[in-house]
Every structure is written in structure tokens, then in C-alpha cells.
Amino acid sequence: MSDKFDVIVIGGGPGGYVAAIRAAQLGLKTACIDAFTGKDGKASPGGTCLNVGCIPSKTLLDSSKHFHHVQHDYAAHGITVSDAQIDVPQMIARKDGVVRKLTGGVSQLLKGNKVSFFHGTGKLKTGLEVEITPADEGDTISLHGKNIILASGSVPIEIPGVPFDGEYIVDNVGALDFDHVPDTLGVIGAGVIGLELGSVWNRLGSKVTLLEALPDFLALADKDISKQALREFKKQGLEIHLGSMVKSAGVEDGKVKVTIEDAKGEHQHTFERLLVSVGRKPYTDGLLSEDCGVKLTEKGQIDVNEQSQTSVPGVWAIGDCVRGPMLAHKASEEGVAVAELIAGKPANIHFDTVPWVVYTDPEIAWVGKTEQELQAAGIDYKTGSFPFAANGRALAGGHSSGMVKMLADAETDEILGVHIFGANASELVSECVVAMEFQGASEDLARIVHAHPTLSEAVHEAALHLDGRAIHRGN
């Protein structure tokens, strides 16, 4: 095989593999290098997202939701199920099967698009050269690219004094693979991972306590939504301590002892297992040779401009290892955009309309600005909202918690943000993303026919409410 490529992608996560496929579709001779090794000891492209992130977490969220429904919700439908049991190894095996299917699918897609795949670690050298150390410890391979795309992703942040041990004190990888339901689970950080994986084990019967340093719950979300969500999650049995800064943790007699400091001073908590989910940091270990010329930011991200170009011409970087939200869909869209720019096509991404989703039950999803951000920016806005408790489909399905809140410019009526707490919020937000991409007004969503009975009618009603003409709620 020739060692010269138009595009070499280092990293095969949702940023890297998507960039590689799009580059190949555009007729560019493309290689993709990924270091991840699956549980079967083989290459497992798909990155954090497919292997130990988005997909396995959503698989366990779904399994645990079934278990919860059987125990708590079926009786109201007149369905009696006695003695429901959870078989954790079977649940984990199903999750691993879903991961295998998807990562195998990515391998097939790369092959089908004639992307040359290398299982190993890639290092950028000077002169657009990439050196690969194969995962099977074979001889190093050297490739040359006209363009290199760095897509090396991110890893969990470790708190000083709280070392991961892979069994008692774990990150997302460990919490996706517990072999039984821990009686008690401590979670440091009530962010996205803490809430999602905390919900999984809470539904399966663990007593889950989240210790969050900030005084505010889900500080990135709109306050009306985070307030409702906090109430709801506490009702579900999650114990959430805000303003609790973790100082240290250690394992004693098979239990994890955690020392925290809050307004009342220092306390200790004891848990069977501890999940640390205090954020992720860009991963660039072993990626860059000292003289390759690629600059990093103070935060350790690969420094890129708006078009994802690094400080070295011909070297690009995308996904979690660069600025912006650490989200799979953001990484993938950057991958597509960079491949298209390399092929000489116009491409850009509207970061303002990247949707956010937290896959709790109910889900939290939003796009655009929060009310707090609009206030801070001095923008004159109007709001509309609609509770799912007044939506027929939500009641029929037993999903009456939550609401849709819409924010629009007071003068032009352009939609500036939509915030949803409710069943299928992850799907409902897409309509709002489309509306905002087209610089739509709340009047546009108010005039569009929404099927009845659907949850999407709550979005429709929130848009109507902005103009004081919601039909199914008092204005």
C-alpha cells in the first residue's frame, strides 16, 4: 500500500470516523487511525461515544427505565408483574452487544468507503508525516498526508486526592460495567454524566447521592428548567447535595470514604462505589511530536480557528480535543465541515444552534440562549411556555411532568432559545433547531400544523403562548 494520502485522520470517534467517511465520499484518498481496543481485544472504532459514552449509557438508561416502569408504573395501567428481578450481567451483555454492532458497523462503513484503517496510535511529526505504533506492537508505520485531521477526543478529569482505581472509585467506563447494583453509589459532580449514570443505578435500586460543588443545579440550563428538574429528580430518589466540594476519597474496608466541605464544614460520606464525573479534558497524550508545531491553548485544547485549522497549515483538529461543547454531534459536524473544506467546498457550522440533551427521565433538551443569558446580554425578549400536564399525548403515556419554554426577540419575534423538560425532549428539540437555523419566528412555529395527539403540540402551544393565544392553557 502506498504511504501517501490526501487525508489522514487520527482518532476514530464520531469526529474522526465521520470526517474520514466524508473525505472518502469526496474522492480523497483517506486513512483513519484509531487506538481504541474493544473488550474482545480487537479494534473498535467509534471512540468514546460508541464504546464508553453516548451509546452504552443510553442502552443502560433504556434497560433501567424498563425495570423502573415494571416496578412503579405498570400497575396504573392495570398490569401486574410480580417479583421483577434485574439480571445485571445480562443487562451489561446486551449493552456490549449494542456497542459491538455499532462499532462493527463503523468498521464496515470505513471499509465500504475505501478508507484505510489502522488500529494503533498515531503521532504527528513534522512535514505532515504521521507515525503509527500498531496496537499489536508490530513495526511502526509511516504515512504522509496532504492534510491531517486530529480527532483524539477527551478523557475524564481526575480530582487530586480522589484517584481512580477502576473498581471502587470509577469514571464512566467503570460505572457502565458494574457487575451488580451497588447498595450505595456516590457521584461527584451532578453534571450530565452524573445525572445519566446516577439515574441508571438509582432506577435499579442503588441509593445514589450526587455531590455537586456549585450552588446551582445544572448551571448551563435555563433556570426554570433546572428548578423543575431538580424537584423531579429528588422525587425519583436521587439525593443531590449542592455546594458540596469534594476534598478527598479513599477505600477503607471495601467501602469508599469521601470527605466533602460545604457551608456547614467538613463531613464524611461512605459509599459502596464512587463515580467521579467532574468533566472531561482534551486528550493529546502521545499525539504530537515536540517539533510538530501544533499549538495548544491554556486549557490543553488543540488551538484552532473558526474553520478548525491549527497553527500548522494542512493540519486540522475537531471534536472534544478543540474548543466548544464536548458533544458527539458537534464533533461529527466539524468532521464533515473539515472534509468539505479540504475538498474545496464551502462549509461552516452554526455553533449557536447546537442542541444539548440530558437523557434523564424526563429528558432535558435545549437550543439557543437561556433566559439568564438574554438578561445578561441586555436583549429584550418575550417568553411562552406550555406544561406537558396539559398535553393529551403526554397524559395518555403517563409523561405529564415538565414543560416547553420558548424565548423570542421582543421586537422581531425571532426565536432565541427553546428549553424542554419532558418525555422525548431529545426528539422535540430538533424542530426548534430547524426553526432557529432558518431564523424562524415564534409565529412560524405557531402557524405550522402539528399532528394531534403528539408531544410536539406542546412546542406549538408554547409558540402560541408567546403571543398570548395558547388554546389549551390559560394565558
Which residues lie near ligand FAD (CB under 6 A)?
10-16, 33-36, 47-49, 53-54, 57, 121-122, 151-154, 172, 193, 283, 286-287, 319-320, 326-329, 331, 359
164 or 283: CB nearest ligand FAD: 283
Q: Which of 297, 248, 52, 298 is nearest to 156 (CA)?
A: 52
Residue 187 near ligand NAD by CB under 6 A: no
Cβ nearer to ligand FAD, comparing 28 with 197: 197
Task: Take residue 447 and report the three cell numbers written for it.
Answer: 402557524
Cell 424498563 sits at which residue?
A: 66
Q: How far is the CB of 54 from ligand FAD (least distance, A)?
A: 4
Has 452 been annotated as catalytic? yes
Nearest approach, Cβ of 245 to ligand NAD (angstroms)? Answer: 5
Instruction: Name residues whose C-beta falls within 8 Å of residue 391's C-beta, 6 or more positions apart in sequence.
Output: 400, 453, 455, 457, 458, 461, 472
Closest CB to ligand NAD among residues 327, 403:
327
Q: Are 380 and 411 in contact (CB under 8 A)?
A: yes
Does residue 50 belong to the site contacting ligand NAD (CB under 6 A)?
no
For the chain, the straight-line distance linking the first and the last C-alpha, in angstroms and rounded, comes to 69
435 backbone dihedrals φ, ψ, rounded to 5°: -60, -45
The binder of 423, among ligand FAD, ligand NAD, none, by C-beta within 5 to 8 A per type, is none
Closest CB 275 distance from ligand NAD, rounded Å: 9
* Rounded Cα distance, 197 and 65, in Å: 12
Check binding of 194 to ligand NAD (CB under 6 A).
yes
Regarding 357 and contact with ligand NAD (CB under 6 A), the answer is yes
Catalytic residue among 241, 452, 460, 472: 452
Report DSSP state, residue 389: G
Closest C-alpha to 353, from 442, 429, 459, 445:
429
User: With CB under 6 A, what is the number of residues at the site for ligand NAD?
Assistant: 25
Residue number, 43 or 49, with CB nearest to ligand NAD:
49
Preceding amide of 453 cis, omega within 30: yes
Supply the DSSP symbol for 314.
T
Minimal CB distance residue for ligand NAD: 191
**Exposed (0-12), middle (13-18) or buried (19+): which is 303, by Cβ within 10 Å?**
middle
The DSSP H or E segment spanning 256 is strand 255-262
Which helix (H) or strand (E) segment is 235 a member of?
A: helix 223-235
The binder of 194, among ligand NAD, ligand FAD, none, by C-beta within 5 to 8 A per type, is: ligand NAD
Please pick, from the candidates 98, 109, 155, 245, the single residue that binds ligand NAD as defined by CB under 6 A: 245
Question: Rounded to an integer, what distance in angstroms lies between the CA atom of residue 347 and that of residue 333?
Answer: 10
| Half-sphere exposure of residue 364: CA atoms within 13 angstroms, side-chain side | 23
CA atoms within 13 A on the CB side of 92: 15
Nearer Cβ to ligand FAD (174/440): 174
Q: Which of 10, 60, 151, 159 binds ligand NAD (CB under 6 A)?
A: 159
387 cis-preceded (ω within 30 degrees of 0): no
32 binds, among ligand NAD, ligand FAD, none (CB under 5 to 8 A by kind): none
By beta-carbon proximity to ligand FAD, the closer residue of 215 and 325 is 325
Q: Does 55 bind ligand NAD (CB under 6 A)?
A: no
Q: 61 to 120, contacts with ligand NAD by CB under 6 A?
A: none
Binding window for ligand NAD (CB under 6 A); candidates: 2-10, 89-97, 211-219, 400-408? 211-219
Which residues are catalytically annotated? 452
Q: Which residues bind ligand NAD (CB under 6 A)?
A: 159, 188-194, 196, 211-214, 245-246, 277-280, 325-327, 357-359
